[in-house]
Amino acid sequence: MKNLSTIDGVIITELRQITDERGSVLHMLRCDAPEFIRFGECYFSEVLPGAVKAWKRHRTQTQNFAVPVGRIRIVIYDDRIESISQGQLQVLELGRPDAYLRVRIPSGLSYGFTCISVTPALLANCTDLPHDPTDGELRDADDPAIPYSWTLETGMDSNA
Amino acid sequence: MKNLSTIDGVIITELRQITDERGSVLHMLRCDAPEFIRFGECYFSEVLPGAVKAWKRHRTQTQNFAVPVGRIRIVIYDDRIESISQGQLQVLELGRPDAYLRVRIPSGLSYGFTCISVTPALLANCTDLPHDPTDGELRDADDPAIPYSWTLETGMDSNA
């Protein structure tokens, strides 16, 4: 799974974890990273066990996700009409220590995530543009246009 | 405590927590925040219960701290020779929901932190310059030049 994306423009990067008996230092994003565009905003999305936050799609904003706490399943769907990977669906699990990854999701892709750990997870996001409520489109978690069922995967009600 | 700093240049800002039954969205930093300088790096420091990470001082880098998970006590000491608040020590507790704050610490100040929650805490930092090992100075947690005892406060061995 690591460093492999089946969707055009998605970049998966292994992040450094500097182990320390007092607690690890966990890299996220530097301004000199090859895929860094610009800094728009940093925020966190807490996800409670079993909860689903899906689907979202941005017109212009790029996401850079990492999961420093807990474990999250992210699903990305390419419904861009002119994409070479149009119709592709990618499922990724993010969490320490084996999958401490940064996932860059360019604009135009649909994505959602769920917490698959028994304790709350924290998804961190460093975007290239600050939050603009007119930039994001929301769809129901059970929207039939996307071939993925959160209900089957989580065993929980997926109404977001 | 909130929005009050006794040390020149330290800025404490209350951050927005957008409550959601699936997990909250937690603001950290936007590029259009009044005190935003530039983006250097975003990283996380996990701090295990009772562990102390102290003391650190940067020559040029500015820190922007927030604590989205667990609870942390941060201590800042002004040992800048020409500062109007030289000799001041400030102790802050950061954590949700009552103290979800961003603390900006300019270069030249000494700071350290400890986890005061029973579960691990996560300190997030958005700096204005990427990490440069020659920029930071480390001192022992029990350095007598700083009038603060981590041992007394935490009841634990403070050797960092």
pLDDT in tens, A23-69: 999 999 999 999 899 999 999 999 999 999 999 999 999 999 999 99
| Contact flag B48-A131 (C-beta cutoff 8 Å) | no
Neighbour count for residue A18 (Cβ, 10 Å): 10
* B82 touching chain A per CB within 8 A: no
The residue extents of the domains of chain B are 11-154
DSSP at A158: -
Give residue B151's pLDDT.
86
| Contact flag A27-B46 (C-beta cutoff 8 Å) | no
Give residue A153's pLDDT.
54
Q: Quick check: ipTM above 0.85? A: yes
Give residue B160's pLDDT.
39
The domain made up of A11-154 has a fold known as Jelly Rolls (2.60.120)
The residues of chain B scoring below 50 in pLDDT are 1-3, 154-160
Residues of A in contact with B130 (CB under 8 A): 30-32
Give residue A151's pLDDT.
86
* B19 touching chain A per CB within 8 A: no
Residues of A in contact with B46 (CB under 8 A): 23-26, 68
Cα–Cα dist A60/A130, whole Å: 11
pTM, two decimals, is 0.93
User: For A91-150, what is each residue's pLDDT tens digit?
Assistant: 999 999 999 999 999 999 999 999 999 999 999 999 999 999 999 999 999 999 999 999
Among candidates A23, A47, A126 on the partner chain, residue whose Cβ is nearest the Cβ of B45: A23
* B70 touching chain A per CB within 8 A: no
Cα–Cα dist B52/B113, whole Å: 6
Q: What are B152's two structure tokens? A: 């007394």
